Chain A
Amino acid sequence: MSRLPAGREKFTRRTAAPVTQATDGERYVAIVATSTLPASQQAVRSSIGLKLLMAGSGLIFVGYVLLHAYGNLMVLGGADTFNNYAHHLRTFGQPMLPYGGLLWIVRVVLLASLVLHAYSAFTLWGRANGARSTKYAVKKNVAASLSSRTMRFGGVALLLFVIFHILHLTTHTITPQGKQPTPYDNVVNSFDKWWLVLIYALAVIALAFHLTHGVWSASQTLGLTNTATSRARAKIAGHFVGALVATAFLIPPLAILFGIVD
């Protein structure tokens, strides 16, 4: 009891017995049992709390990449369809939103999600390294899937790709395609270069791996997989989302590279 910080030790009028609470939550108190929770450990954000942050922000990304991949498919409709789509993204919600308002809302939400996702990932990564400072001489991965084992470095690769992608097609800081008049020209004159398609294709494959484990892992972290059936479903959902997003993202650049769209 003495180790608990001030304010966490209370006395009820009814029993006059010390009531100890594990957290700030007011609803449940243990009258018989005293928590052995050291005060120093309460200040640290719990590993499951960090996982929940990662799962929640990850699901925002899942929703975003699905919409982004769908939007990219507009390029198959030709210059007018794609340019209209790009324009409509900016006029969406007018006059209640200013020009480009929706895009800025999305950007702020994505940036916030990215900060939370990366913060929780790097914190947990650091804790995991600290949890086994001496490695095994021999260690086999017998149950781990490839997608689960590539989450961390794959995530870093995706972060680097996102930076490149924004510099390429959002800010036009990196312009292998040269200066182009319309969004359609920007896309088509980028992906007629094989090496640019290769960079994007590798990133999309990394994303597919990340989503395959990520969707399942988020379901588990959110506590939605309490049975063998729901676990199997979450894994199938992960594979489905990974494959769907990868396919939808790969179609436009490959169609441009092979001259189906020009």
Chain B
Amino acid sequence: MNLTLKIWRQDGPKARGELVTYQVADISPDMSFLEMLDVLNERLNAEGKEPVAFDSDCREGICGMCGLMISGEAHGPEKTTTCQLHMRSFKDGETITIEPWRADAFPIIRDLVVDRSAFDRIIQAGGFISVNTGSAPDAEAILVPKPNADRAFVAAECIGCGACVAACPNASGMLFMGAKVTHLGELPQGQPERAMRVQAMVATHDGAGFGGCTNIGECSHACPKGIPLDVISTLNADLRKAKSGRF
């Protein structure tokens, strides 16, 4: 496959960026998207040019490290992570625009790498349960009804990649936040801190500069784990109940 790539290049957080056009040739359709970028970077290295900076880690679709805006879609045209996207999803001769996640809460570090520590701060604010160390009970000591366990598990699939924010027209982090609030809210262990959790997380989310949700659904569509929109409904209900003291 021969492709034309338009890649966002930016030297640093404060630098001016621009889309730079590259040609890549003889790309195998069985390569992953990141392997295709590796091929480009090997060539740039050989030519003595600065390679394109992008994030990746496990390349198995489970760590949440990678994430690129590919021709206007977060993680590209398939419902998966960028590392698990293959070049067979593209046509020979196609022009692909590659941009970083764009959100003021995710400042660009370099090229396609963004700083997603705003997500960490949201988790630190309330995305946890408190247990005393040294006396952790058996995991199955407290019975959890199957439907609650299932829903908690679906929500817990979130890998924190940030595709929801990237795809949202409002750059809102509510699918991410809703996933954590639902995950812990469906389980008995999550109940004692439930009211505090949602309020602290929402305040941190808003303070980090994410936008509000308008229930459009781009987030859920872009989510490589298919987290459903109803976690945002649970998030909204939890905040409403917490504010009115009904937990």
Contact = CB atoms under 8 A, between A and B. Distances in A.
Nearest to A41: B207
Interface stretch (A181-189, A191-199, A220-228): A220-228
Summarize A's interface: helix, strand, loop or mixed: loop
A143 interface: yes
B10 to A, nearest CB: 10
B203 A41 contact: yes
Given A33-B128, A225-B233, A139 B203 contact: no
A145 B228 CA distance: 17
Most buried by B among A143, A230, A231: A143
B99 A137 contact: yes
Contact of A50 (B99, B125, B212, B218): B212
| Contact residues on A (Cβ < 8 Å of other chain), bracket | 35 or more
A128 B229 CA distance: 19
A151 B214 contact: yes
Interface string B164-182: 0000011110100000000
Contacts of A227: 230
B199 interface: yes
Contacts of B202: 46-48
Contacts of B99: 136-138
Interface string A37-72: 110111010111111100000000000000000000
Contact of A124 (B126, B204, B205, B212): B212
Contact of B211 (A52, A127, A222): A127
A33 B193 contact: yes
Contacts of A32: 130, 132
B213 A144 contact: no
Contacts of B205: 47
Contacts of B80: none
B196 interface: yes
Contacts of B215: 148, 213, 216-217, 220-221
Interface of A: 21-23, 25-30, 32-33, 35-38, 40-42, 44, 46-52, 124, 127-128, 130-145, 148-149, 151, 213, 216-217, 219-228, 230-231
Given A48-B240, A137-B99, 10 more contacts: A36-B204, A47-B202, A127-B212, A128-B172, A131-B209, A141-B169, A141-B218, A144-B218, A217-B215, A231-B228
11 contacts: A23-B243, A25-B199, A44-B206, A51-B236, A124-B211, A136-B102, A145-B217, A149-B169, A151-B214, A220-B232, A223-B237
